[in-house]
Amino acid sequence: MTATQSEGRRADIPASLVYDYNIYWDERLSPDPHKFWLQMRAEAPDVFWTDLNGGHWVAIGADAITKILRTPAVFSNSMQLIPKQANMPRMIPESLDPPEHLLYRRLLMTYFEPKALEYLREKAVEMADALIADFRDKGEVDFVKELARPMPVKVFMGLAGMPLDRYDEFIEIIDAFFAERTPDTSAAIIRVMNEVIESKRIHDDGSVMARLVRADFEGRKLDTEELQSIGYLLFMAGLDTVTNAMTFGVRHLALNPGDQTELRNTPELIPRAMDELLRTYTFTAVPRLVTQDVELGGAQLKADDMIMTMLPFVGRDATLNEDPDTVDFHRTKMNHFAFGSGGHTCLGRHLAKLELQAMYERLLLQLPQFELDTSKPVGPTRGGTVTEIPQLWLKWQTP
């Protein structure tokens, strides 16, 4: 805790509600953000104020998080950055509140329902096999670089209709955005989406973006700004989240050989294990704009405050999950917000689970027992809306 007054703090906020936390680059997130969050859970109030990044609230209590996600009239999606920044693109439907949000969500749900995605299962398996073949005989790999990043990104690029030969360029653009979060880095994404939109207007390849260009929406076609905004959201969501779900899950298996062996021996457990690993290692957070004065978790929030909602803490709440800090692939009751909750539950969750299952099945089938290689350097953990470990070095015995 700190009692130091700073320009990022309102005068009415008591020192007991202040906890120093840099949501983007806190050094305590490295090398294990979930370990640090357990420390935070023991030290910080359910809702606390940090003076950093312009000054804002952070919610870590499950009750407070649930209220935020299920009360959009008070906790609005209209501002998606902390600190606030003008001239940033909208992300349809993520940055919209009801009832407008639901109209666009219904349109996009058509493309992300399980039946609509089933054809991608074979593609995901083929992608995993091809990537694993490149490092299987080497005895070591940076899992993030060689599998966790290219597999979901390329699967998503194919779904959205983005040219696969621009993979490296797109990765650079998304990394620049998450590092800086500025109008300039956002503009680079918009430029890419403009190119994709214009190409789909000319050529209907059956991809999501090509179908959106031609979709009927409320009796009309989507305009260019709407298509840019939807594409902007798809670009950011599709090129980062599943990568980190894979990374945290495989990191656990590398550190816990017993769990790894169990999944090898009983692969039918993989779907349940996948969900349990998402619960234990949720890595997402969502910012919200407070629209009116409100009490939340013992804190007095004011209209126009920002609050970061830390979703990892829901899965680790003892009132929602028995023995929440233990990974149990046989857990019968499981609650988490890895994909959010309420009206803004992640549209891409079915795609994420499809890709995760393919990755676990193929990796455990094709690699021998692997472990974490702690001799290799790992960069600092990035926080924000998607917490990222930049490298995950694995090693194993080769024949």
Q: Is residue 8 part of a domain?
A: no
| Nearest alpha-carbon partner for 361 in 244, 264, 288 | 264
Greatest mean pLDDT among 43-47, 114-118, 332-336 lies in 43-47
Give residue-wise pLDDT tens across range 84-142: 987 777 788 888 888 898 999 999 999 999 999 999 999 999 999 999 999 999 999 99
3-state SS assignment for residue 137: coil
Give residue-wise pLDDT tens across range 176-212: 887 787 888 888 888 988 999 999 999 999 999 999 9
Cis status of the peptide bond prior to 89, with omega within 30 of 0: no
**Distance (Å, rounded) from C-alpha 228 to C-alpha 257?**
45
Which residues are registered as beta bridge partners of 294?
301
What pLDDT sits at residue 3?
33
CA dihedral 288, 224, 222, 227 (to 10 degrees): -50
**Distance (Å, rounded) from C-alpha 313 to C-alpha 61?**
7
| Nearest alpha-carbon partner for 151 in 118, 115, 192, 123 | 123
Q: Is residue 7 part of a domain?
A: no
pLDDT-based confidence at 148, cuts 50/70/90? very high
| Spatial contact of 215 and 201, defined as CB atoms under 8 Å apart | no
Q: Which two tokens stand for residue 299?
A: 């804190």
| Res. 1: pLDDT tops 50 | no
| Average pLDDT rounded to a whole number, residues 303-331 | 97
**Stated pTM of the model:** 0.93
Quick count: other Cβ atoms within 10 Å of Cβ 328?
17
Q: Is residue 339 part of a domain?
A: yes
The Cα-based distances of 347 to 139, 158, 248 in angstroms read 37, 17, 21
3-state SS assignment for residue 6: coil
Quick count: other Cβ atoms within 10 Å of Cβ 277?
24
In a 10 Å sphere around its CB, with 0-12 CB exposed, 13-18 middle and 19+ buried, how is residue 119 labelled?
exposed
pLDDT-based confidence at 58, cuts 50/70/90? very high
Least confident of 6-20, 238-252, 300-314, 319-333: 6-20
Percent of the chain scored above 70 by pLDDT? 97
Q: Is residue 1 part of a domain?
A: no
Greatest mean pLDDT among 29-33, 157-161, 339-343 lies in 29-33
- In total, how many domains does the chain have? 1
Q: Is residue 103 part of a domain?
A: yes
What mean pLDDT value characterizes the chain?
92
| Res. 398: pLDDT tops 60 | yes
**Distance (Å, rounded) from C-alpha 326 to C-alpha 316?**
9
| Nearest alpha-carbon partner for 378 in 360, 393, 388 | 393
Q: Is residue 210 part of a domain?
A: yes
Give residue-wise pLDDT tens across range 226-271: 999 988 888 777 668 899 999 999 999 999 999 999 999 999 999 9
**Distance (Å, rounded) from C-alpha 292 to C-alpha 46?**
20
| Res. 63: pLDDT tops 60 | yes
Q: Is residue 6 part of a domain?
A: no
Q: Which domain holds residue 248?
A: 15-396
For residue 243, give every residue at least 6 positions away whose Cβ sits within 8 Å of its Cβ, in sequence order, or none: 144, 148, 149, 152, 153, 388
Q: Is residue 328 part of a domain?
A: yes
What pLDDT sits at residue 7?
54
**Distance (Å, rounded) from C-alpha 397 to C-alpha 294?**
57
What pLDDT sits at residue 98?
87
CATH number at residue 71: 1.10.630.10
